[in-house]
């Protein structure tokens, strides 16, 4: 019976994959509306024929990998549960020690390793295609180093989360979701506080911006926006990617303004100032705090739903407080995250558009804004007008068509 359910799940996944391939490669329409032909939003006006061809091909591959990787993760959780692999990991952990914390660590290590190996093909394919299309500049060794760093960072963070979560499940049984939610609030703030100074430096080298004249212009812009900032940081991303980025990260005294060196190499000062004004718009309009509040609210609803569904399914398991139920918890969590992504992406797109408007008001430089979006499109081989499903489930920023159109109009 278990094998039948496993085969059904695999067959459903293959069928879904074929359907998404048909949608993305044959049905979805990413053509630019006729009224925008020849405008600044038309990629034919700022991209070469080869760039247009690569952009279209790469977008389809990247979108297909996304829509295949999400249910692939669900398939892993389901198979680990239904085939008894999770129970086997729990038995291995119990054989190592009688101390519950050690059992949790052993179980979670085997589970994390199995998850890493199962999902590795998608990560590798994504890296290979990114390299083939000129986005990634990282060799396999460098990419693998980042993957292993990811594994251990996620293991350390998630082990702490899982250990506390299952201790609460044992203590509170049916109401565990409420104290779990209450504890998630300070944990979320703590992670945002340490991210720029503890986690980010594990992947890249951060140092003060070398171009002091540009730094002075950025800090003057920050002062005009009443943003407390003493330094602008540069990060050496060119050894990993040709993509461009800049951001403001962290909260409180650990907040940072960060520029990728690829952005510094590809944009002039006016374009960089537009990008930084956009990032400052998020700070001025307090998007980070709205984001934290929205995340905390969704966490409350999500944990309540997970608790209800786990209690319902727990009748056919040895009990939800058993660590072997972790794949069920993660399966429900992942499904809920995916189901809520249209809403969260819409909220994010709204905030990004507000930040774009703020950047125009701050710099009074619409021309540099348009050129910035064109450069970003070329650097990332981005779709200007992605298909509807792709936009709904993947885009947490407005499409380039929407951003350039807003500036022009």
DSSP annotation of 33 reads P
- Phi then psi for residue 245, to 5 deg, are -165, 160
C-alpha 27/C-alpha 5 separation (Å) is: 31
- To the question of whether residue 278 is assigned a binding role by annotation, the answer is yes
Location of structure tokens 């190592």: 96
Q: CB under 8 Å to 12, separation ≥6 — which residues?
A: none
CA angle 396, 401, 403 (to 5 degrees): 65
Percent composition of the chain: helix, strand, coil (DSSP 3-state, to 5): 75, 5, 20
Location of structure tokens 């179980």: 107
- To the question of whether residue 127 is assigned a binding role by annotation, the answer is no
356 is catalytic: yes
Location of structure tokens 């189901």: 339
Contact 381, 55 (CB under 8 A): yes
- To the question of whether residue 364 is assigned a binding role by annotation, the answer is no
C-alpha 380/C-alpha 58 separation (Å) is: 10
150 is catalytic: no
- CB atoms inside a 10 Å sphere around CB 133: 18
Give which of 214, 219, 238, 241 is closest to 229, Cα–Cα. 219
Q: CB under 8 Å to 408, separation ≥6 — which residues?
A: 39, 40, 41, 366, 370
The tokens for 322 are 């058993």
Q: Among positive and negative, which fits the CA dihedral 365, 395, 200, 226? A: positive
Catalytic residue among 90, 271, 279, 371: 279
Beta bridge pairs of residue 246: 259
Contact 224, 283 (CB under 8 A): no
- Residue count of the chain: 409
Alpha helix (H) residue ranges in 195-268: 212-224, 261-266
Cα–chain center distance at 191 = 15
Catalytic residue among 73, 356, 365, 371: 356
Cα–chain center distance at 364 = 31
Q: Which residues are catalytic?
A: 279, 356
Q: Which residues contribute to the annotated binding site for Zn(2+)?
A: 278, 282, 352
């Amino acid at each position: 019976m278990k094998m039948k359910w496993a085969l059904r799940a695999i067959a459903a996944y293959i069928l879904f994959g074929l359907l998404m391939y048909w949608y993305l490669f044959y049905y979805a329409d990413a053509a630019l509306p006729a009224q925008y032909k020849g405008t600044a939003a038309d990629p034919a006006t700022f991209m070469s024929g080869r760039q247009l061809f690569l952009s279209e091909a790469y977008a389809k591959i990247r979108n297909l990998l996304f829509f295949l990787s999400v249910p692939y993760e669900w398939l892993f959780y389901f198979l680990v549960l239904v085939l008894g692999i999770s129970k086997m990991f729990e038995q291995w952990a119990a054989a190592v020690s009688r101390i519950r914390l050690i059992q949790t660590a052993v179980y979670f290590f085997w589970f994390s390793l199995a998850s890493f190996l199962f999902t590795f093909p998608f990560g590798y394919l994504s890296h290979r295609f990114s390299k083939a299309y000129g986005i990634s500049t990282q060799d396999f060794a460098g990419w693998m180093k980042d993957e292993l760093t990811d594994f251990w960072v996620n293991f350390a963070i998630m082990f702490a989360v899982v250990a506390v979560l299952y201790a609460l499940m044992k203590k509170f049984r049916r109401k565990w979701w409420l104290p779990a939610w209450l504890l998630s609030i300070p944990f979320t703030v703590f992670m945002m506080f340490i991210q720029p100074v503890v986690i980010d430096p594990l992947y890249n080298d951060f140092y003060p911006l070398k171009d002091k004249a540009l730094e002075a212009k950025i800090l003057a812009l920050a002062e005009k926006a009443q943003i407390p900032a003493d330094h602008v940081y540069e990060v050496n991303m060119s050894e990993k990617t040709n993509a461009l980025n800049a951001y403001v990260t962290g909260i409180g005294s650990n907040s940072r303004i960060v520029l990728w060196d690829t952005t510094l190499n590809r944009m002039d000062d006016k374009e960089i100032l537009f990008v930084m004004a956009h990032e400052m718009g998020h700070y001025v309009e307090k998007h980070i705090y709205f984001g934290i509040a929205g995340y905390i609210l969704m966490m409350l609803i999500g944990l309540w739903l997970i608790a209800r569904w786990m209690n319902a399914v727990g009748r056919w398991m040895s009990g939800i407080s058993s660590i072997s139920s972790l794949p069920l918890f993660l399966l429900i969590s992942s499904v809920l995250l995916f189901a809520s992504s249209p809403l969260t992406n819409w909220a994010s797109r709204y905030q990004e558009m507000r930040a774009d408007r703020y950047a125009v008001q701050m710099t009074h430089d619409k021309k540099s804004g348009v050129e910035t979006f064109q450069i970003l499109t070329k650097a990332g081989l981005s779709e200007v007008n992605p298909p509807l499903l792709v936009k709904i489930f993947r885009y947490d920023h407005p499409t380039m068509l929407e951003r350039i159109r807003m500036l022009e109009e």
